[in-house]
Amino acid sequence: MSAATTGTSRAVVLDGRAAAAAVKADLKERVSALRERGVVPGLGTVLVGDDPGSASYVGGKHRDCAEVGIASIRVELPATATQAEILAEIERLNADDACTGFIVQLPLPAGVDTNAVLEAIDPAKDADGLHPTNLGRLVLRVKEPITSPLPCTPRGVIDLLLRHDVPLDGADVVVVGRGVTVGRPIGLLMTRRFPNATVTLCHTGTRDLAAHLRRADVIVAAAGVPGIVRAEDVKPGAAVLDVGVSRVEDPETGKARLTGDVALDVADVAGFMAPNPGGVGPMTRALLLTNVVESAERAVGIG
């Protein structure tokens, strides 16, 4: 969804750019404190192939690192890289003391076993929180404070809801999309932070998506299908967070542009809206940095 609406919007905007700026300001101070103790957090990224979207996300991650004082390590491999070559780079980053956390940018080229790649990352350096050990800890350590990295986009969604006091106690939450970075982990994190929320995961096999959406107090749209969440299917006052990303051709300019999953006029019905761009995306980036800083703090016994 773009920030523009049909003009009657009364939804409170869940402003991810402002929230991310606040998160980064806090991280900058924490990174300075770590540096004073001789600890320099370093984020590594592994980018395979030449997808312009992925390259742009990785570039943004390194700009964020520079902003808060985190060191950057960039690994780039051609789209033809073999599974063994990718795993070798992961082993190198696992062993590199300058790299305190790293990610492998997704999606990987067709033919690469993404699960095997994610499982090869040292769980202590897993800045995305997508290693099975960390996903398992997320399920098991429900009552503990955060002791392991958490998936960034789901964490961003929850942070935005908390910052704006969106009511979650007893809420019906509907997540659309079952991808590995958002749809699958978000229910785990949501019911850890809001144990009385009821989370339903909808996907391409869901028989009646509209029926699920209509009773939802909170909708997290992460399907990558433009306009899949329509105003007529949103309960007045609901919180709607648009996390979908699709590349479409702009009919006016003929140029490719990014669009979300939520129709523009949903903002006229919703009580809270996380737009796309400007909602959850900037928080995904800020919480990646948070995972890196928290890991570095844990390593020296802070937090």
Q: Tell me which residues are annotated as active site.
A: 61, 105, 128
Least Å distance, CB 24 to ligand LMY7XDAE, is 13
- Residue 285 CB, nearest distance to ligand LMY7XDAE (Å)? 5
Neighbours of 56 (CB within 10 A): 11
- Name the nearest CA neighbour of 88 among 104, 72, 101, 100: 104
- At 223, is the secondary structure helix, strand, or coil? coil
Cis preceding linkage at 107, omega within 30 = yes
Binding of ligand LMY7XDAE by 277 (CB under 6 A): yes
Identify which of 149, 137, 102 has the alpha carbon closest to the alpha carbon of residue 297: 149
For 253, list phi and psi in degrees, rounded to 5. -100, -20
Residue 70 in contact with residue 32, Cβ under 8 Å?
no
CA 87 to chain centre: 24
DSSP labels, 70-96? -EEEEEEE-TT--HHHHHHHHHHHHH-
H or E element, residue 79: none
To ligand LMY7XDAE, the closest distance from the beta carbon of 209 in angstroms equals 22
The nearer residue to ligand LMY7XDAE, 2 or 198, going by C-beta atoms, is 2
Q: Which is nearer to ligand LMY7XDAE, 41 or 44 (CB)?
A: 44
- Applying CB under 6 A, among 9, 105, 148, 295 the residue interacting with ligand LMY7XDAE is 105
> What mask, x for binding ligand LMY7XDAE by CB under 6 A, covers residues 167 to 186?
--------------x-----
Q: In the complex with ligand LMY7XDAE, which residue's Cβ is closer, 103 or 267?
A: 103
From the list 3-11, 100-108, 169-177, 201-209, the region that binds ligand LMY7XDAE by CB under 6 A is 100-108
Shortest distance (Å) from residue 241 CB to ligand LMY7XDAE: 11
Name the DSSP class of 108.
P
271 interacts with ligand LMY7XDAE by CB under 6 A = no
CB distance 127 to 290 below 8 Å: no
Helix (H, G, I), strand (E, B) or coil at 101: strand
Interacting residues toward ligand LMY7XDAE by CB under 6 A: 56-57, 103-106, 128, 152-153, 181, 258, 276-278, 281-282, 284-285
Q: Which residues are annotated as a binding site for NADP(+)?
A: 177-179, 245
Q: Which residues are annotated as a binding site?
A: 177-179, 245
